[in-house]
Amino acid sequence: MVVVGGGIGGLAAAVALCRVGWRAVVFERSAGFGEVGAGLSLWPNALRALEALGVADRVRALGAVETAGGVRDRSGRWLSRVDNAEVARRHGLPLVVLRRADLVRVLAEAVPPGCLRSGDEVVGVRADGEGVAVEHRDGVVRADVVVGADGVHSGVRRRWWPEASGARYAGYTAWRMITEPVDGPSEGAVVWGRGERFGFTALSGGRWYCFGTAAVPAGGGGSDEREAVCRRFGGWPDPVPALLAAVPEGGVVRHDVHVLPPLATYVRGRVALVGDAAHAMDPALGQGAGQALEDAVVLAACLGSAGTVESALARYDRSRGPRTRAVARRSARLGRVARWSWPPAVAVRDLAARLTPAGATLRAMGPVLGWTPPVLPDGGDGRHRQGRARRA
């Protein structure tokens, strides 16, 4: 088994597959297994997937539980408040926020030794008899199954789904940052402006994960993104200015947000897509990584069960397609509304948010957050069964 891409989806897939007895080799083109993008929210469904991978306790120890939050308008007034303790009461697990790099490290450390190849880019994936040949910078490997976990600009998807449209700009750019320890507010929030948003949520150790978004043309950006963020959001309501002041020099990353149109199937032959390569979605719901983690667990549950590889991959596809497409649609809807900029539309949006009871919002999220993982079959000593990746 070869996994192309060592982000959250690829590493989680490797952990899960090794747990059920496959030997999975992860190729990551970057020099190490790190993550840009500052922080990450993990909702109960994501934590449940991490429980199935056996790393939830470590992740929770590194993160902070978000106990309260909500949406405020550009003047700072609350439009809606969410008691996130209610999330835990309803779903048995809280909303946890942590540094992306911490999650990636925990996942990378959970992959059995010798299975990670960093600094090794995959340049081709082609059918080879019953299996798949994977060309990478240092040679060719033959595998029974290939997992395409190479993100929104996935080369695996391009090669195996040549008819599918590629990534499209979602219409806004995102700046992400982590503050130094600062005497912050008592709760997180997202402030909705006109075509702009600024969100902040506590991390452990007195730091805050913040993000700003703006509906601007793609491809912008300059040498000093911290300066750009301070210019754009420095006049926003408290505590935004104080949080921005606590962001270190060079501590802001900027990315144009891209999404992928839905695919009818995530499996073709012996190739399966997971995570953003399958369904990169608008990040408004904070579910992209969560869905990647779910994919990983379900793929391993299917491939770890009795039956042929083909039937296992078909089960994976049937299980993940409808759910991820539904979550992506929902996230896209929220993202569209959140970046409205026409003043009358913004006024209606903000009024609707004020009138919607917080309980209703959480109830509506129930099907997304209430996901439960399949049981992972015991893979014995974790050595590979049928899925040995072989040198060609």
Shortest separation between residue 75's beta carbon and ligand FAD, angstroms: 25
Minimum gap (Å) between residue 199 Cβ and ligand FAD: 9
Name 41's bridge partners: 97
Backbone angles phi, psi at 349, to 5 degrees: -60, -50
For residue 290, the minimal CB distance to ligand FAD (Å) is 4
Nearer to ligand FAD by C-beta: 137 or 354? 137
Angstrom distance (rounded) from CA 241 to CA 236: 7
Of the pair 260, 378, the CB lying nearest ligand FAD is at: 260
- Smallest distance from ligand FAD to CB 269, Å: 18
Q: What is the SS3 assignment for the chain?
A: CEEECCCHHHHHHHHHHHHCCCCCEEEECCCCCCCCCCEEEECHHHHHHHHHHCCHHHHHHHCEECCEEEEEECCCCEEEEEECHHHHHHHCCCCEEEEHHHHHHHHHHHCCCCCEEECCCEEEEEEECCEEEEEECCEEEEECCEEECCCCCCHHHHHHCCCCCCCEEEEEEEEEEECCCCCCCCCCEEEECCCEEEEEEECHHHCEEEEEEECCCCCCCCCCHHHHHHHHHCCCCCCHHHHHHCCCCCCEEEEEEEECCCCCCCEECCEEECCHHHHCCCHHHCCHHHHHHHHHHHHHHHHCCCCCHHHHHHHHHHHHHHHHHHHHHHHHHHHHHHCCCCHHHHHHHHHHHHHCCHHHHHHHHHHHHCCCCCCCCCCCCCCCCCCCCEEC
Q: What is the smallest separation between the CB atom of 197 and ligand FAD, expressed in angstroms?
A: 10
CB of 153 to ligand FAD, least distance (A): 7
What the block records as the tokens of 215 is: 């509906």
CB of 281 to ligand FAD, least distance (A): 7
Q: Which is nearer to ligand FAD, 138 or 378 (CB)?
A: 138
* Cβ nearer to ligand FAD, comparing 98 with 309: 98
CB 132 within 8 A of CB 143: yes
Nearest approach, Cβ of 180 to ligand FAD (angstroms)? 21
Whose tokens are 């200015």? That residue is 241
Residue placing its CB nearer to ligand FAD in the complex, 149 or 299? 149
Nearest to 148 by CA among 307, 280, 318: 280
The residue (of 123 and 245) whose beta carbon lies closer to ligand FAD is: 123
CB of 8 to ligand FAD, least distance (A): 4
Cβ distance to ligand FAD smaller for residue 109 or 130: 109
Q: Which is nearer to ligand FAD, 209 or 375 (CB)?
A: 209
Q: Considering beta carbons, is residue 1 or 149 the nearer one to ligand FAD? A: 149
Interface with ligand FAD (CB under 6 A): 4-10, 27-30, 37, 40-41, 46, 121-122, 149-151, 155, 174, 176, 211, 255, 257, 275-277, 283, 286-290, 292
